[in-house]
Structure 1
Amino acid sequence: MITVGADVHKARHTFVAVDTVGAKIAETVVPATTVGHRQALAWARALLPGAETDGLLWAVEDCRNMSNRLERDLLAAGQSVVRVSPHLMAAHRRTGRERGKSDPIDALAVARAAQREPDLPVASHDQISRDLKLLTDHRDHHVVQRTSSINRLRWHLHELDPEFLGDTADLTTVLAQQRIRAWLGERSGVLVEIAAEVLADVMDLTARIKKLDKRIDAVVTPVSSALREIDGCGVLTAAKILGEVANVDRFPGQDQLARYCGIAPVPVWSGRTEGTMRLTRSGNRQLNRAIHVIALTQARCDQTLGHAY
């Protein structure tokens, strides 16, 4: 078995192959394109002894924006791909005999981490989870933009008339936006023009978010019946879980999935404090937030597992 570690960047990827005991065999650098990935695959297959064709394990540093295409190309070629988190790679780099930091050193650390660490997350790119990941991330981006625009709009309206908004707390509703637009239409001045432009951005983003909500609902509903049965798990939460988990079968068991979600406790004891545990600060924070939303909802609702707990 040959393990190939990959240090990924926007323009190029560095690969280092190691044998079963972690000794470095060879290294190569290819462009970060599908053609370059095919070159890396041909290079790695040439390192296999005899007619062996399936003795490769690809370990990719988990930098999702830069490693997505590489993972998809390798999976399409029938390869086995595992993800190595950057902090895990850094820990193994510090234990290496070669000092310093470079792309080959990082790729070697990734390969050795994959050999030494069992049950690493397996890369998976099924179409539904990828679509939901893209859609939910795009919606989150729109929500952040809208929140920023609303905050600017509030200050502009406060400067125009501190008493206008009054108790109006939610500016994401169409009714509130139409009221503000009508109020601004009765006034003039540079600040009014700026406030009207910011309001138009808010209204446009609100329409986009609602359109994305409908599209996400159309994708999630046919595939999330089990998730939707969980108290507190709505359409958006289910979409976030499906998009981030990306095929639950890639995890060996529930313990590994819990660790990936950042909800598995870790030991923090010594001597007389044996058995003391705390929540981990690692894991996928998007998944952690989705599960936190479910827990908070259940805590407020009677006759739910979360409320009983």
Structure 2
Amino acid sequence: MEAAHHDVIGVDPHKSSLTAAALETDETTSATRRFALNKGTGPAVLAWAARFEDVLFAVEGAQGLGRGISQFLLSQGHDVLDVPSTLSMKARVLHAGGGRKTDAADARAVGWVAQHHEGLRSVATEDHAEILDLLTRQRDGLQGERTRALNRLHDLFRDLIPGGVPRGLTLTRGRAALRGLRPATAIGQTRRDLARDLIGEVARLEKLTDDYERRIAEELQASGTSLMGLQCISTIMAGKILGEVGDVRRFRSAGHFASYTGAAPLDTSSGDNLRQRLNPGGNRRLNSVLHVMAVCQIQHGGLGRDYYLKKLAEGKTPRKARRALKRRLSNVIYRKILKDLSTGASANS
């Protein structure tokens, strides 16, 4: 979207307030205003912005603190650009000639970025991707709570049973171990009661996890994705991918997508020395999905294993060969999501 032909309103959001700055096409600031966040914030921003013509909104962190105002502006028919905080910070330093930071300065910096940066993503109305992101994160949180509960249960069984219980404790094994316990002391009885409560907690968490997995599967079916057709992509993994990616069209190429997932290596060449190193950045949830997918394909055979063995034959170490496979799988996922998008668009036309 070309921002240079619009008056731009940069928005710097916070937990309890947001600051808006209106910039004309020559970068001069027409007005700034701070708004307290409440039910009337959205209408108040639009009423204040009504004095400006052909306005384009730019919000810092439209997927984070700026989500609420961004979605409201979209619902009212306005175009909204998502400005990363790293870009607005650099713009503020360059324009102001220093590091002085105020909410008004941040809002102006957001507007400056929107006026000059051509690669900004247009905010889209929340859809299946946002629902999947919420559901998969909640499911992962429940899994973490279950693991912590089982670890505490292990500690109790260690004191209740000589030698404790074997690794791989599950709800069924925990119930079986608890069934034969008859502690003779008050301390032992207290530990047994705590263990019984933890087993009930694990049962509750597992039921909730199953419910969320069912909802994720239903949402994936409604989205029309075909990601589960790829080898070693489970329902949960597909939900994480779509939830994190959102609108895949925001990535200009497979290389841009691979950089976002952390699967593309970083170039560290200098002079005649050509080197690349592991990218420690990128989206770690997506990188984890790629890792699990790569390890699964290596173990179970197929095209992924063939590619891995080819890289080993070329002299790469197992770790580097696995990284190369992750990079290739990133391309496969990118093309698959794009194909699903084009197929869905064709079906709806």
In structure 2, the CA distance between the partners of 1:189 and 1:36, relative to structure 1 (3 Å rule), is same
Greater Cα shift, 5-14 or 243-252: 243-252
Deviates more, 1:10-19 or 1:38-47: 38-47
Deviation of 1:162 after TM superposition, in Å, equals: 4.2
Q: Partner of 1:257 in structure 2?
A: 257
Match of 2:71 in 1: 72
- Give SS of 1:58's match: strand
1:43-92 deviations in whole A, cap 9, x for unaligned?
Answer: 234122xxxxxx33322222634222112111112222222222333233
Question: 3-state DSSP class of the match of 1:64?
Answer: coil
Which residue, out of 6, 25, 41, partners 2:46?
41
**Aligned twin of 2:32:** 27
Change in 2 beyond 3 A, CA 1:89/1:298: farther
Percent sequence identity is 27
Number of equivalent positions: 298
Matched to 1:91, the amino acid is: K
Quote the offset at 1:221 in angstroms. Answer: 2.9
Runs of at least 5 residues in structure 2 that lack an aligned partner in the other structure: 1-5, 309-349
Q: Which residue of 1 aligns with 2:175?
A: 178
What are the superposed Cα offsets for residues 244-273 of structure 1, whole Å, 9 maximum, x if unpaired?
Answer: 222223444434333333333333222122
CA distance 1:306–1:81, shift in 2 (3 Å)? farther
Deviation at 1:222, TM superposition (A): 4.2
Deviation of residue 34 (structure 1)? Answer: 4.9
* Structure 1 residues 238-297: Cα deviation after superposition (integer angstroms, max 9, x where no partner): 1111112222234444343333333333332221224x3334333332222222322222
Question: In 2, distance between residues paired with 1:288 and 1:125?
Answer: 25
> 1:19-168 residue pairs with structure 2 within 5 A?
19-48=24-53, 55-62=54-61, 64-97=63-96, 99-166=99-166, 168=167
Equivalents in 2 of 1:198, 1:179: separation in Å?
Answer: 14
**SS in structure 2 at match of 1:4:** strand
Q: Is the 8 A contact 2:154 2:169 kept in 1?
A: no
Distance 1:90 1:39 in 2: 26
Provide the TM-score with structure 2 as the length reference.
0.77
The match for 1:51 is: none
Residue of structure 1 in register with 2:13 after alignment: 8
Could you tell me how far apart the structure 2 residues matched to 1:69 and 1:245 are?
19
Shift of 1:102: 1.9
Which TM-score applies when normalising by structure 1? 0.85
Superposition deviation, residue 21 in structure 1: 4.2
User: CA, structure 1 residues 111+190, in 2 after alignment: closer, same or farther (shift >3 Å)?
Assistant: same
Deviation at 1:307, TM superposition (A): 4.5
Residues 300 and 307 of structure 1 are in contact (CA less than 8 Å); yes or no, is this contact kept in structure 2? no
**Which residue of structure 1 lines up, in the alignment, with residue 207 of structure 2?**
207
Task: Provide closer, same or farther for how the CA distance between residues 113 and 285 of structure 1 changes in structure 2, counting only shifts above 3 A.
Answer: farther
For the 8 Å contact 2:11–2:59, the answer to whether it is kept is yes
Q: Secondary structure at the match of 2:9?
A: strand
Q: Report the CA distance between 1:144 and its aligned residue.
A: 1.6
Q: Indicate the SS of the match to 1:14.
A: strand
CA 1:69–1:232: 2 relative to 1, 3 Å? same
User: 1:204 corresponds to which letter in structure 2?
Assistant: R
Report the equivalent of 2:303. Answer: 304
Distance 1:217 1:265, change over 3 A: same
SS at match of 2:211: helix
